[in-house]
Structure 1
Amino acid sequence: MKSSFLRYAIILGLLSAIGPFAIDMYLPALPFIGADLAAGENAVQMSLLAFFLSFALFQIVYGPLSDMWGRKLPLYMGIGLFTVASIGCALATNIETLVAFRFLQGIGGAAGMVIPRAVVRDMHTGVQAARLMSLLMLVFSISPILAPLTGSAVIHFFGWRGVFWAVMIAALIGLVLLSTQLEETRPKEARAESSLRSALTAYGILLRDRNFMVLSMIGGFGIASFLVYLANSPFVLIDHYGLTPTQYSIAFSINAVSFFTVSQLTGWLGSRFGLVRVMRMAVTGFGITLAAMVVVMGAGFDQLPVLAAFLFVGYGFLGLVIPTTGVLALEEHGEIAGSASALLGTLQFVISIIAMIVAALFFTSKPLPMAAGIAMCAVIAFAVTQLTIGRRPVEVGAAAE
């Protein structure tokens, strides 16, 4: 069982990480892209936002496809498109072309975010699903640790275009793993019951499911806090604090270490206290820590070590929030796991995009506006939890408790 868990965690984690790898490896390149393509900071950030937009919206397409066609075929389609779009990004000669191919790249990458979650739900529920999800996230978290460092090295030797050749190679490796190491987990008889009409019906059921929507929002604002940091940190840490791309990559990776290390406690804590209780505790710590960060920095302590310390603790709590909300949201929807995973991802990334746009309106390359945007997302997640799950139990099945 342990070897099977680990094998699936590695395969699914790597497939899930292909899209984020194209984000994290890309971050140290942002200032260089602007200089090379004669584009301003806002235009360069649009290439990041275009990826997020398609990455969010097209998850809702892959979910029903994976229910109707099985899990593997839509993964082939998505990763194949990602590979082609990566080549287009590497060859782009202006910012407009880069933004367009980043949009296509996000469409392809969305498959890797949706379908592995559905595969987890195909195989397990409750605490067992949480254990597999946390192992998957351990592999997934390699991306924010290694990708910026790898990106810095690639940029040093090959320039920013080398980043896209590197993610193309990662996608090709993903295709090989998909074809040789992953079995189909959606049986044919289950696929026969799925159609476009059933997908629309499934989305209607999910949108009316209070527990699903609440858990999606909590996880969504948690992810949004990290993506606000992701979009703004290259300019704050490199331009304001004066870090080199390599130093920035190390600083960025430290938060990922906190995130994935704490996430590995999900299964143990869930079996001991119940996933809902773990989630409540984690959201509380997450919100309080990042709210305190803004208070301290607003009082004049806006040094990099202060920012880094609060983010390290806050994103450690986030390492419990994301797997617990994901497992709990899918717990009662095994028959429509693909559609549920797709809507979960779309809702979460739409929340993140809105948060990134709002944060961009106040962005000044100074640390405090970025910290305020990060903390606002965490506080909203905490408030939603207190107003809903904090007041009465979420009915997500005995396995969750």
Structure 2
Amino acid sequence: MSVAFLRIAIVLGLLTAVGPFAIDMYLPALPSIGADLNAGMAAVQMSLLVFFLAMGFAQIVVGPISDMIGRKAPLYMGLVLFVIGSVGSALAADIEWLIGFRFIQGLGASAGMVVPRAVVRDLHTGVEAARLMSLLMLVFSISPILAPLTGSVIIEAFGWRAVFWAVTIAAALAAVLLATALKETRPRELRVGSSFGSALAGYRFLMGNAKFLGLSFIGGFGISSFFVYLASSSFVLIDHYGLSPSLYSVFFSINAVAFFTMSQLTGMLTERFGLRRVVRIAVAGFATAMVTLLAIMASGFQALWVMAALLFVGYGFLGLVIPSTSVLAMDDHGEIAGTASALMGTLHFATGAVAMAIAGQFFDGTPLPMVTGIAACAVTALAITQITLGRAREAAPAAAE
């Protein structure tokens, strides 16, 4: 593995992690934000939901812009918006103010989600793309491991507002990294012909492409299961199980360790078995773990260690699903990589936002509604996988992909 390959993975991973960092550092603060701003659980969760919505739907615009003007300029613009939203959130006087600036923050974070995937496609396809994507996931996974722990320390020492000052500093550092360590991967000659008109044509084409949609929704429902967990886990683990914010952060980080550890096997496994087979097996393992967790919880046995063990196994399998489906979905669309990445990201976050909103309606403070939502997402992903990547649909040897 070359130094340049590793450097690109680190830069793209850190740029991608800026937005999730603002989520994961924020999670331990949800109960204290509600108390400080005199807001109910639903209103506090709304500040999380609008961030997801903004980060998801803004990608639909940012992606084509990156095809038209290059990859770096949209990243700079996104970081500026992210800083504005972070500072406004830190100064929030009430929950409505916080929700508004979290929306702006999410708009800025969208660039860091959509553009790095397009950069990967600019540089590589197939197994090499899977290797780069898995390395990106490794760096990206720093966020769910370190951010909750860092967030809980900051919250306990300085209060929840300090979280937003911390992510402001992180965004400034990301801007320096972008300026000094990443070259433009979409040169001017490749931008000729890229416009909002061509983007609309690209979206129409992709929306009619069953393979692209199927792969996007497999990843989307996998991510949705994690969104359901994000929205409810702090209330379940802190209020129901009685964990401190620090212990909650450790619990949260364990799942991230499973995710990024397994994601690092993506390149090796896809080279040996092919992307399609890896996706099929990984989604089946993910769904099996989550349905088993639901069955145990529904029986009345709700021990924390059971939840920890099965979430660890399930999100380990998910670590293989996300990079593999992303590479497969974009493999055939290099000329409109930004547009394809944007639509895929938007579908991921739209699916996640809907799943999170539905699960939130049933939340009662116990773990069962959260686990039910996670299992439902996993089963849906499995069903879509069978339709999209069933053995009868193998058009080429798996190893070729």
- In which range does the TM-score fall when normalised by the shorter chain? over 0.9
Q: 1:98-127 deviations in whole A, cap 9, x for unaligned?
A: 000000000000000000000000000000
Alignment-derived partner of residue 318 in structure 2:
318
Q: Which runs of 5+ in 1 are unaligned?
A: none
1:50 and 1:173 map into 2 onto residues whose CA distance is 25
Asked whether the equivalents of residues 12 and 116 of structure 1 are also in contact (C-alpha less than 8 Å), the reply is yes
2:130 and 2:292 map into 1 onto residues whose CA distance is 29
Alignment partner of 1:392: what SS? helix
User: Identity across aligned pairs (percent)?
Assistant: 65
Say whether residues 1:97 and 2:135 are aligned partners: no
2:399 and 2:194 map into 1 onto residues whose CA distance is 26
Alignment-derived partner of residue 119 in structure 1:
119
Q: 1:163-203 deviations in whole A, cap 9, x for unaligned?
A: 00000000000100011110000010111220111110111
2:360 and 2:196 map into 1 onto residues whose CA distance is 37
Asked whether the equivalents of residues 125 and 399 of structure 1 are also in contact (C-alpha less than 8 Å), the reply is no
Amino acid at match of 1:293: L
1:98 and 1:7 map into 2 onto residues whose CA distance is 36
Alignment-derived partner of residue 357 in structure 2:
357
Aligned residue-pair number: 401
Alignment-derived partner of residue 295 in structure 1:
295
Asked whether the equivalents of residues 215 and 388 of structure 2 are also in contact (C-alpha less than 8 Å), the reply is no
Alignment-derived partner of residue 73 in structure 1:
73
Per-residue deviation, 1:400: 5.1
After TM superposition, list the pairs within 5 Å mapping 1:298-309 onto structure 2: 298-309=298-309
Asked whether the equivalents of residues 79 and 175 of structure 1 are also in contact (C-alpha less than 8 Å), the reply is yes
1:2 and 1:148 map into 2 onto residues whose CA distance is 32
Alignment-derived partner of residue 155 in structure 2:
155
Asked whether the equivalents of residues 258 and 313 of structure 2 are also in contact (C-alpha less than 8 Å), the reply is yes
4+ runs of 1 displaced by more than 2 Å? 391-401
Alignment-derived partner of residue 145 in structure 2:
145
After TM superposition, list the pairs within 5 Å mapping 1:382-401 onto structure 2: 382-393=382-393, 401=401
Say whether residues 1:211 and 2:225 are aligned partners: no
Alignment-derived partner of residue 56 in structure 1:
56
Per-residue deviation, 1:392: 2.9
1:75 and 1:23 map into 2 onto residues whose CA distance is 19
Alignment-derived partner of residue 223 in structure 1:
223
Asked whether the equivalents of residues 219 and 322 of structure 1 are also in contact (C-alpha less than 8 Å), the reply is yes
2:191 and 2:172 map into 1 onto residues whose CA distance is 27
Asked whether the equivalents of residues 331 and 396 of structure 1 are also in contact (C-alpha less than 8 Å), the reply is no
2:9 and 2:25 map into 1 onto residues whose CA distance is 22
Alignment partner of 1:9: what SS? helix
After TM superposition, list the pairs within 5 Å mapping 1:237-252 onto structure 2: 237-252=237-252
Q: 1:270-314 deviations in whole A, cap 9, x for unaligned?
A: 000001110000001011110111011111211110111110000
Per-residue deviation, 1:143: 0.2
1:149 and 1:393 map into 2 onto residues whose CA distance is 44
Asked whether the equivalents of residues 258 and 313 of structure 1 are also in contact (C-alpha less than 8 Å), the reply is yes
2:394 and 2:190 map into 1 onto residues whose CA distance is 28
Asked whether the equivalents of residues 286 and 314 of structure 1 are also in contact (C-alpha less than 8 Å), the reply is yes
Asked whether the equivalents of residues 277 and 398 of structure 2 are also in contact (C-alpha less than 8 Å), the reply is no
Alignment-derived partner of residue 180 in structure 1:
180
2:267 and 2:234 map into 1 onto residues whose CA distance is 33
TM-score normalised per structure 1: 0.98
Asked whether the equivalents of residues 67 and 191 of structure 2 are also in contact (C-alpha less than 8 Å), the reply is yes
After TM superposition, list the pairs within 5 Å mapping 1:26-41 onto structure 2: 26-41=26-41
Asked whether the equivalents of residues 206 and 213 of structure 2 are also in contact (C-alpha less than 8 Å), the reply is yes
2:70 and 2:60 map into 1 onto residues whose CA distance is 15
Measured at CA, do residues 126 and 102 of structure 1 come closer, stay the same or move farther in structure 2, by a change above 3 Å? Answer: same
Q: Which runs of 5+ in 2 are unaligned?
A: none
Measured on the aligned residues, the alpha-carbon RMSD in Å equals 1.2
Amino acid at match of 2:361: L
Alignment-derived partner of residue 366 in structure 1:
366
1:368 and 1:255 map into 2 onto residues whose CA distance is 18
Alignment-derived partner of residue 346 in structure 1:
346
2:383 and 2:204 map into 1 onto residues whose CA distance is 26
Alignment partner of 1:237: what SS? helix
Per-residue deviation, 1:375: 0.5
Asked whether the equivalents of residues 332 and 396 of structure 1 are also in contact (C-alpha less than 8 Å), the reply is no
Asked whether the equivalents of residues 272 and 399 of structure 2 are also in contact (C-alpha less than 8 Å), the reply is no
2:394 and 2:150 map into 1 onto residues whose CA distance is 42
1:73 and 1:397 map into 2 onto residues whose CA distance is 39
1:273 and 1:59 map into 2 onto residues whose CA distance is 32
1:58 and 1:369 map into 2 onto residues whose CA distance is 29
Amino acid at match of 1:361: Q
